[in-house]
Amino acid sequence: MGRGFDLGDRSKISALISLQKAGIEKEKAEKISEGARLKGCSAYNFVLNNRDSISEITDQQQLLLFISTYEELKKDVERICKNKLFIMEYHPNPTISSTLAWDNIPGKIKEILIDLRYRGDYGAVTRPYLQRLAYAGDLTGFGRMIADRTTWFFVPQDRFKRRVDFYESN
């Protein structure tokens, strides 16, 4: 469903609201939102069974869904980085305010954290490797960490390479 808009992670009402905000007609949005919370084979079967009745969404609608999803994930990464427990565990100054902890993370690192969250690669397993470097603003160390294939062995090679290339070129 559009770039990065995963119905499996959304409630029906959340999906419906997002779809309508992206300019998808009410009837089509209602039909699409029936796929909320479906994953794996169930999601695949939903698409197969409803492809003809739903039809395609426009490129503009896909872009609006992407922007909406990106903003949601950006807020989630901010929430994670402002979490007092993470600050106490990983920040070089554990008494820093949550706002300053977030504001002091370089934009380049924030972009990668958002991408990692977007792709499902920023979680309990990888966070300990990244959070300390993000809080410290260690651009070099963070770059080395995201380029370490042994840490990201579960990430498809193409995604890994594109992420590293993006980081190194910005």
CA 108 to chain CA mean position, Å: 15
Q: What is the per-residue pLDDT for 20?
A: 96
pTM of the entire predicted model: 0.84
In angstroms, rounded to a whole number, what is the distance separating the alpha carbons of residues 129 and 144?
Answer: 11
pLDDT tens-place string over residues 20-50: 999 999 999 999 999 999 998 998 899 899 9
Rounded to the nearest 5 percent, the helix, strand and coil shares of the chain are: 70, 0, 30
In angstroms, rounded to a whole number, what is the distance separating the alpha carbons of residues 5 and 69?
Answer: 6
pLDDT tens-place string over residues 127-163: 988 999 999 999 999 999 999 999 999 999 999 999 9
**pLDDT tier at 4, thresholds 50, 70, 90:** low
**Percentage, residues of the chain above pLDDT 90:** 81
Contact 126, 116 (CB under 8 A): yes
Candidates 166, 75, 63; CA nearest to 118 is 75
Burial of 101 (0-12, 13-18, 19+ CB in 10 A): buried
